[in-house]
Amino acid sequence: MTQSPSSSFDRIPELALDWIAQGRQVAIATVVSTWGSAPRPIGSQMLIADSGEIEGSVSGGCVEGAVVIEAQETLRTGLPVLLEFGVSGEDAFSAGLACGGEIKVVVEPVGEDIGAGRGMPIAMLEDLVAARSTRSRIVYEVTLDRWVRSLREPCQDEAQIGITDGTYVHPHEPPLRLIIAGAVHVAQALIPMAQVVGFDVVLIDPRGAFATEDRFPGVTIHKDYPDEVLPQIGIDHRTAIVTLAHDPKIDDPALEAGFTSDAFYIGALGSRRTQGQRLERLSARGYGPEDLRRIHGPVGLDIGALGPAEIAVSIMAELVARHRSRLA
């Protein structure tokens, strides 16, 4: 098995630890409230180093410069700060929000030994990253008057992010993950797109000639059948499954594992004729209409795609649409 490096997309806590290990001082900026035409949603984060280097975004470019300046000050004093930008007209334009709207951004230095010592403790950041690495849900809270922080398990069905009674509450979900069965040419085009969007990618294919690091550099590869791999890694509500192998011995076990899971998306490559044969085969194995309806087949939005790259675009578009519709 080859391990893939974490994508920097939506990996601000992990990247912060990496930068700290390199000897940098860092601050994390987080959007905690929005109103009107705010360009980035609540929970969006940006990492700022003492050198001025940044990663991520809190406004799509509108107010990043001001946030970087404030972050440098927090690193000097050790004091976190709550920033407000907006609202409309002249004020919005001067703040960089020419489209109108308002955002509130918390900037927190990381480290117990910074300035007045009111930054986020490194140990707490480590615990947050550890929980994310095991695909466990965890909630980060910080009071915005006294800067008291805590990590806790989420309450049942807790998903609300934002400010409640003066406390910013940020439930951290596991990263999005895409499990691909079939190390084929479409997978070579799909994987970079998925990684840019923010998916962790797992590639499964027992065929050694297909599943090679040369063809899929830096990707987590399991050279085995899906029914051997998936029970080990698990499938949760932040996981999508796409089968591309065109081989029922590889594709079908991945689909069957998806039926018994909380996967938010299951897709299978192939023509309508292939899809019909697939449904007949799975029906004969005892799977009912409710299971079979979960398969998006032929996989991807119908955009008239030809060739691996266009097929990958159609798959990625359908994945994003499905993910966002379930959150709406």
User: Could you identify the residue written with the tokens 């990247």?
Assistant: 15
CB 201 within 8 A of CB 252: no
CATH topology of domain 177-327: Rossmann fold (3.40.50)
User: Could you identify the residue written with the tokens 């690495």?
Assistant: 133
Sequence length of the chain is: 328
- Per-domain boundaries in the chain: 12-172, 177-327
Per-residue pLDDT of the chain (328 residues; tens, 9 = 90+): 433 333 444 789 999 999 999 999 999 999 999 887 667 889 999 999 999 999 999 887 778 899 999 999 999 999 999 999 875 544 444 555 555 678 899 999 998 655 455 789 999 999 999 999 899 989 999 999 999 999 999 887 666 889 999 999 999 988 899 999 999 999 999 999 999 998 999 999 999 999 999 999 999 999 999 999 999 999 999 999 999 999 999 999 999 999 999 999 999 999 999 999 999 999 999 999 999 999 999 999 999 999 999 999 999 999 999 998 864 4
User: Could you identify the residue written with the tokens 């399991």?
Assistant: 222
Cα–Cα distance for residue pair 186/307, rounded to 1 Å: 8
Cα–Cα distance for residue pair 222/72, rounded to 1 Å: 43
